[in-house]
Structure 1
Amino acid sequence: MLKKAVLLLSSLFLSSSLQAHTLWLVPSHYVLSKPNSWIAVDASAANMTFVPDKGISLNALKLYSPDGSSKAIKDVYQGKRKSMADVQLAGDGSYRLELANPPRFMTLYELNGERKRLMADKQQRAAQLPAGATNVETVKSRSRSFAYITVNAPTDTVLTLQGEGLEISSSTHPADVVAQEALQFVFNINGKPQQHVKGVLSYAGELYRNAAERIEFITDSDGVFRFVPEQAGRYLIEASYSADIASAQADKVRESITYSFEVALP
């Protein structure tokens, strides 16, 4: 059973909007002691945490090395229920696996009482919108899924915020997360802590529990979500943020992120 965070937790009941398929990455190992080891990575879009449902494209899967460099992962396979990748970690330090698709622009509008859409930003939509279109709004959306793996000594380079979109930071290194010890996550938008980010925390084993035992949360005024993992295992955070913006390309921005991590035995 997870301990509630000391935060603005409204309810533990899952809203319908958060029951849609969630995309996640799960490495076979989060901590390793042998350099040049291989790990297997599972990825899926699913309703239950870490229970695969739909295979997804891994063409955008990247590995960020301890020195900050990145490379595309080529050994991938997309199956019906899940996708898989084989990844070799060359040396000591912390790595980041990330599946990040480029931003997408979608323009929504009404025509003759029907809601329609087209894939175009504000600059492109002018030439594509039909005559008589009303209630026009363009949304910039982006999603990212990631996990950290550490070989021997933890390092911090891959933990550095990129300063773009929705990101998660923490005062506890991912390799040092231990059951029954408090955790604090900061959710950032464009490099700055952001309040009112909505999220859900879940952990492995939902298939074998009568209750999912998920926790809904909203970040506080410092962009923080706190909780104490009472048991070891694999956990998942899924979070999203949307806001009106004034830009040449969009009227609204929507960001989503999923982060899988491991909690070690105390």
Structure 2
Amino acid sequence: MKKLLLAAIFTLSSQSVLAHTLWVMPSHFVLSGEDTWISVDVSAANMTFVADKGVSPDSLRIIFPDGQSQPFAQQYQGKRKSQADHQLVADGTYLIENGGAPRYFTLFEVNGERKRIMADKKAAMSELPKHATKITTSRSQSKALAVVTVNAPNRKAITPKGEGFEVNFVTHPADYVAEDAIQWQLLIEGKPAAGVKVELSREGELYRNNAARVTLESDTEGKLQFTPEHAGRYLLEASYQANTVTALADNERASLTLTFEVGVP
């Protein structure tokens, strides 16, 4: 009963956030110098980079150029956006990621009433009411990404791990320039994710009559190609779902956003 109550509270408090797009926005994408600092904004919003709802920074982490992961040194959660700061003490490429471990939700009915508990298939067995029917468990995971490079770029932090829904940076993020093609590859459990629709948007939507969003679809190798016309900051949004049955779930859903910067030619 306690888990049912917690699930209900979680549903009510999360609906407004889940209806928005999660993103992280670093103060800089390419830096030079030694012992520099980075500040990161975290928010969930309907309009690209217009902060709307503060998101907990508890799952925010930074992966250093050597592959080591650290929580941010300082963080604050606000009403419209959250913020965090960290010192970048080494040359190379850093991955900023906001997103926790996968969540499992088991849906079921009791006397025609739909209910949910936050548990995977195995854990749910001991929690389900005796007369539960129409039982389905979903695995869900979302994350927001950004990449920052200090002096010399490298790839240790941004190399795919072969776990969950990931992006492979075919073109290094430090090399994104207007009018030049950018390539990414989407992966699921290390394998190409074909047929995934992606939406790309650019900062400044609030000041344009035409949002000028672009929709792409990954090819058979999971690859995407985009040639930006303008310099500036962009957001890539991708989501994936499949009826993949495992010991813990009956289906899976995953989403990611990537904030990136395009330089002047």
Q: Does 1:213 align with 2:209?
A: no
Amino acid at match of 1:249: L
Amino acid at match of 2:113: E
Structural mapping, 1:176-195, within 5 Å: 176-195=175-194
Q: CA deviation at 1:265?
A: 0.3
Q: Hey, what does 1:120 align to over in structure 2?
A: 119
- Structure 2 CA distance for aligned equivalents of residues 110 and 58 of structure 1: 34
- Structure 1 CA distance for aligned equivalents of residues 128 and 22 of structure 2: 32
- Structure 2 CA distance for aligned equivalents of residues 246 and 253 of structure 1: 8
- Structure 2 CA distance for aligned equivalents of residues 20 and 218 of structure 1: 22
**What count of residue pairs does the alignment treat as equivalent?**
248
Q: CA deviation at 1:112?
A: 3.0
Structural mapping, 1:159-198, within 5 Å: 159-198=158-197
- Structure 2 CA distance for aligned equivalents of residues 30 and 231 of structure 1: 16
- Structure 2 CA distance for aligned equivalents of residues 218 and 142 of structure 1: 21
- Where structure 1 has 5 or more consecutive residues not aligned to the other structure, the ranges are 1-18
Deviates most, 186-195 or 124-133: 124-133
TM-score normalized by structure 1?
0.89
Q: Does 1:148 align with 2:150?
A: no
- Structure 2 CA distance for aligned equivalents of residues 241 and 156 of structure 1: 25
Q: CA deviation at 1:47?
A: 0.6
Q: CA deviation at 1:54?
A: 0.5
Structural mapping, 1:13-162, within 5 Å: 20-162=19-161
1:87-132 CA distances to partner (integer Å, 9 max, x unpaired)?
1110211111111211111011233333321111101212222233
- Structure 1 CA distance for aligned equivalents of residues 180 and 255 of structure 2: 27
1:14-61 CA distances to partner (integer Å, 9 max, x unpaired)?
xxxxx9301100001000111211121101011111000000111121
Amino acid at match of 1:28: S
Q: Does 1:257 align with 2:256?
A: yes
Q: Does 1:227 align with 2:252?
A: no
Secondary structure of the structure 2 residue equivalent to 1:207:
helix
1:69-101 CA distances to partner (integer Å, 9 max, x unpaired)?
111113000000000011111021111111121
Q: CA deviation at 1:184?
A: 1.6
- Where structure 2 has 5 or more consecutive residues not aligned to the other structure, the ranges are 1-17
Change (3 A) 1:196 1:112: farther
Amino acid at match of 2:106: T
- Structure 2 CA distance for aligned equivalents of residues 220 and 116 of structure 1: 38
- Structure 2 CA distance for aligned equivalents of residues 116 and 197 of structure 1: 30
Q: CA deviation at 1:246?
A: 2.4
- Structure 2 CA distance for aligned equivalents of residues 110 and 213 of structure 1: 43
- Structure 2 CA distance for aligned equivalents of residues 71 and 103 of structure 1: 19
